[in-house]
Amino acid sequence: MESSPKTGTELIKDYVRQLPATPGVYRMSDANGNLLYVGKAKALKKRVNSYTKTSGHPRRIQRVISATALMEFILTETETEALLLESNLIKRLKPRYNILLRDDKSFLHILIREDHSSPQILKTRGRRKKAGEYFGPFASAAAVHRTLDTMQKAFLLRNCTDATFANRTRPCIQFQIKRCSAPCTDEILPEDYSLLVKQATDFLRGKSSDLNEKLNREMQEAATHHDYERAGDLRDRIRALSSITANQMVNPAHITNADIIAIELIGGISCVRVFFFRNGQNWGEKAFFPRHDKDASSEEILTAFLGQFYENKTPPALILINKQITEKDLLVEALSVRAGKNVNISLPLRGEKAKLVENARINAANALQRQLAATASRNNQLAGVKKLFNLPTLPSRIETYDNSHVSGKHAVGGMIVAGEDGFEKAKYRKFNIKNSDITAGDDYAMMREVLSRRFSRLVKEIEQGNAEIPDLVLIDGGQGHLSTSLEVLESLGIKDQITIVAIAKGRDRDAGREQFFLPGKKPFRLAHNDYVLYFLQQLRDEAHRYAIGVHRAKRKSATIKSPFDEIPGVGPIRKKALLAHFGSAKQASGASLSDLEAVKGLSKQTARTVYNWFHEQ
């Protein structure tokens, strides 16, 4: 009789014999290949050896040790490299038992470009692809929009694209409402526009007081010389700048560039609040709710948060925190490597910095209280759903589906996911309807395609042992949609594994008169003031909103499709060259062969292809 594969401490003992006493990262997985935990060590042999006994570890690590059926190792030169790699792997792979930072999108920045004679000011997120000076991070899109709107009033910088700029023959409405100086049509001299760019850059660098004094002097001088129109323009610019300063909330006197980070932990749930100060200005704040076990300490959570938070961001020179962290020196070294400069992590006990940290902690506590209240309400709603549909457990994953189209054109399906933490937007999925044989407007056939694709994938994931099976599937529709959905599940052999419900609007499409269709039961309604009905309406409406948004984006993309897109051999670069030369596809379509050959970046052969294409059309 064959012995069963080793797991837990017996397996880990075998690994210890082979490991060197060097820095590195280790991964622990279960028998199904699911990643359980990622860790780093100064000496891999010593750290892994500590897992050969379950005693002395927190409960979550004890569970990891018991379930481990496979370990993988990556050796590094230093412990700092190991820490950086650990943070990257945790964020990317999301192991079950690590402390995880959720909702960690890259932050918005304001960019003043340097690769154009008349620089553009715009918002940007993610990788820094364009040349110019970036200012940020800004905690929210609203903060960026407010700042950009005000800066347009104050500095009159253009925000139009280069293509629009190159093809203007007269000033646009932005010039008429005094939000742009119209360098596109030479309404302002190049040197004067450069001065505006410099003033905007200085302001974002924190030199607002110097700029205000300068503008005030110029306003007084203009008024003295009876140039009241210029004086009025300068007055409006000064007011615009003042409005930005007025929205800055707490402005520290002695802090230029810093992140203020505070954690609050209540009942095993935590909130980390981050305030961003750049160039002496408060550029907003954001609350995070990391995922962790209830026995995790504030120190553990904050340490893990810092490593993951700055994995894709440049740390400022100063980070102020409200709790001690583990391995502080190592984290400081890792963040300094990432920033390319010295980074200081400090826990202030008195003075202005301590007040800022306490203010962040109070904000974290308030956000956590709101989150706990919302969670309690959501748990009540999920409990109501469990009871209503006779589910075996509290639903942790509810999938809701809807289709969107106009007379069958640009048809799409949308899936949204909700659970204990509310809407999980990272798990939303869109489905472009691919079957060309579907009759225009056949909603049942569209739903059949969407569900077939979704649950065919789920069947494969179940076979691989890494499936997220929904506890409940909601379909926006009536009895016909339910029957279609059941046919799909039955054909895939998973009809008995998934609870599926159709929710149809009332006769007059009035909220509160929805009918629910379940397999083998008569349709029913809920009382119009039932809190479970309200929750299900939210799910249905969110799926509807998402599907319509995807449909509109697809329709818009088709609307703005360029004739160049269909020409063989004309890719994005040649398309850009043609637009830059002629200004539009219409102008290019009527161009002579010699004009096309004169386009920079186009070979004679490609010019002939473009010419033939338009003339054959």
Taking only the tens place, the pLDDT of each residue in 237-274 is: 666 666 555 444 445 557 778 999 999 998 888 999 99
Closest CA to 498 of 466, 465, 459: 459
Query: pLDDT digit string (tens) for 504-523?
Result: 886 655 556 789 999 988 99
CA atoms of 68 and 86, how far apart (whole Å): 18
Task: For CATH 3.30.420.340, list the domain ranges present in the chain.
Answer: 398-558
Query: pLDDT digit string (tens) for 186-226?
Result: 888 989 899 888 888 887 776 666 666 777 777 787 777 77
User: Position of tokens 């469990």?
Assistant: 386
The token duo for 37 is 């935990």
CATH number for the domain running over 563-616: 1.10.150.20
**DSSP labels, 1-66:** -PPPPP-HHHHHHHHHHH--SS-EEEEEE-TT--EEEEEEESSHHHHHHGGG--TTS-HHHHHHHH
Phi, psi of 413 (to 5 degrees): -120, 150
pLDDT for residue 529 is more than 70: yes
Q: CATH number of the domain at 398-558, out of 3.40.50.1820, 3.30.420.340, 3.75.10.10, 3.40.640.10?
A: 3.30.420.340
CA atoms of 338 and 328, how far apart (whole Å): 15
**Upper half-sphere CA count for residue 337 (Cβ side, 13 Å):** 15
Q: Look at residue 25 in the predicted model and tell me its pLDDT.
A: 95
Task: For CATH 3.40.1440.10, list the domain ranges present in the chain.
Answer: 8-93
Does domain 258-371 correspond to CATH entry 3.30.420?
yes
Query: pLDDT digit string (tens) for 134-154?
Result: 887 777 777 778 778 877 877
**What's the topology of domain 8-93?**
GIY-YIG endonuclease (3.40.1440)
Task: For CATH 1.10.150.20, list the domain ranges present in the chain.
Answer: 563-616
Query: pLDDT digit string (tens) for 388-427?
Result: 999 999 999 999 999 887 666 778 889 999 988 889 988 9
The mean pLDDT value for 468-495 works out to 92
pLDDT for residue 44 is more than 50: yes
- Categorize the per-residue pLDDT at 276 as very low, low, confident or very high, splitting at 50, 70 and 90: confident
